């Protein structure tokens, strides 16, 4: 069973790999607006569509929902949706505790690993008032979407650490699966993540304590 904030526990790592949407930034409002419109245009149930949207690149979501459609069409529509999402920042806010959390790890090895492309990541982090990590793996950097582990493996390599030395922060089923496939432990953030048995779960980032050791270890503790 994963640890929860009501049963405090800790993980240690040497580097942190951070998802963005749902983990650092609450962008659910715009995601729902954009994807509901897309689902209705294609005669799909918006509620069912939203069950598979989180954590994946748009083209990968489309491939699940419209499996017989040419991949080229999915990539073309994904570009259109990315532009819509980048322009729509209404309701984009930081996950509670995200500003303090990012400040606490500013001097520690960490990277952003997101299914957003670079313009969308910059727009949402900026709208939420959060600093952009120096090392980042965005959609353009990978050939496969989460739950494929490629993004997290690239993030670890860019930081210079092995997968076993890294802890992933995620909120979605696809993201948790990607972290596990990469051979990493996972901190689940928020209500979505609790269902996917992460190694450590917190309701938001106000419930996480970060301690840096003199030997380079990072201790992550869920607080009650």
Directed axis angle between helix 46-53 and helix 58-65, to 10°? 130
Which residues are bridge partners to 209 per DSSP? Answer: 221
19: tokens are 């998802």
CB neighbours of residue 67 within 10 Å: 7
List active site positions: 19, 21
At 171, give phi and psi (nearest 5°): -125, -20
CB 1 within 8 Å of CB 197: yes
Helix axes 28-41, 46-53, angle to 10 degrees: 130
Q: Select from 90, 74, 87 the least CA-distant residue to 29.
A: 90
């Amino acid at each position: 069973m994963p640890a929860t904030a009501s049963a405090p526990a800790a993980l240690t790592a040497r580097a942190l790999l951070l998802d963005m949407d749902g983990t650092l930034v609450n962008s659910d409002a715009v995601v729902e607006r954009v994807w509901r419109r897309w689902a209705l245009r294609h005669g799909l149930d918006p509620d069912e569509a939203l069950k598979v949207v989180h954590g994946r690149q748009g083209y990968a979501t489309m491939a699940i929902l419209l499996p017989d459609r040419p991949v080229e069409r999915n990539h073309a529509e994904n570009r259109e949706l990315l532009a819509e999402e980048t322009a729509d920042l209404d309701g984009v806010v930081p996950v509670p505790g995200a500003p303090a959390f990012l400040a606490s790890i500013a001097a520690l090895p960490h990277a952003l690993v997101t299914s957003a492309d670079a313009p969308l990541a910059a727009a949402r982090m900026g709208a939420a008032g959060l600093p952009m990590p120096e090392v980042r793996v965005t959609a353009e950097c990978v050939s496969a979407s989460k739950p494929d582990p490629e993004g997290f493996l690239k993030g670890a390599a860019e930081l210079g650490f092995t997968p076993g030395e890294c802890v992933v922060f995620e909120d979605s089923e696809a993201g948790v699966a990607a972290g596990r496939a990469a051979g990493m432990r996972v901190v689940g953030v928020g209500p979505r993540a609790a269902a996917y048995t992460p190694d450590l779960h917190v309701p938001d980032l106000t419930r996480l304590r970060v301690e840096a050791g003199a030997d380079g270890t990072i201790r992550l503790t869920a607080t009650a």
